[in-house]
Amino acid sequence: MKTVSDILKSKGNAVYSITPNNTVLDALKIMAEKGIGAILVMEGGEVCGIFSERDYARRVILQRKTEATPIREVMTEDIYFVHPEQTVDECMAQMTDKHIRHLPVVEDEVVVGVISIGDLVKTITEDQADLIRNLEDYIMGRGYNH
């Protein structure tokens, strides 16, 4: 089973963040520029929140806040983390259980990456495709000595 570390090796471990005083517009600009669905909110090197596309829809648009609103007013403060050695299945279970789509990855109390539900789905589908290919090869006798 693949781990969070495997995902980060494949996708990279860039961590994008803003401060609680940055605005919603600041966050949206970075998210659009980097093609990401969530951004960490950090202060003094520590994660104090996360702001996602869902937060924008639920807390900015629906509550009629402006894009000048500070992130601290609309960010999600209950953050769940994973560690590099955790498996894809463990992460998928945590995301499903907590109804979240992004998980910061922490190693030795330092954020070393962020994984999304899309990263997990991609990994699972690639693993399944490999398994199917290997089973087909086995059934057809390709690559095996009898």
CATH number at residue 102: 3.10.580.10
Find, among 123, 121, 97, the residue nearest to 3 by Cα: 123
Number of domains in the chain: 1
Tens of pLDDT along 60-72? 888 888 889 999 9
Q: Is residue 21 part of a domain?
A: yes
> Is 146 a member of any domain?
no
Residue 145 resides in a domain: no
**For position 15, what pLDDT does the model report?**
96
pLDDT, tens digit (0-9, with 9 covering 90-100), for 73-89: 999 999 999 999 999 99
Q: What is the pLDDT of residue 70?
A: 96
Q: What is the mean pLDDT for each group of 10 consecutive residues in the chain (146 residues)?
A: 95 95 97 97 96 93 88 96 98 97 96 97 88 86 67
Residue 106 forms part of a structural domain: yes
| pTM exceeding the 0.75 threshold for the entire prediction | yes
* Domain limits for position 134: 4-140
Is 56 within a domain? Answer: yes
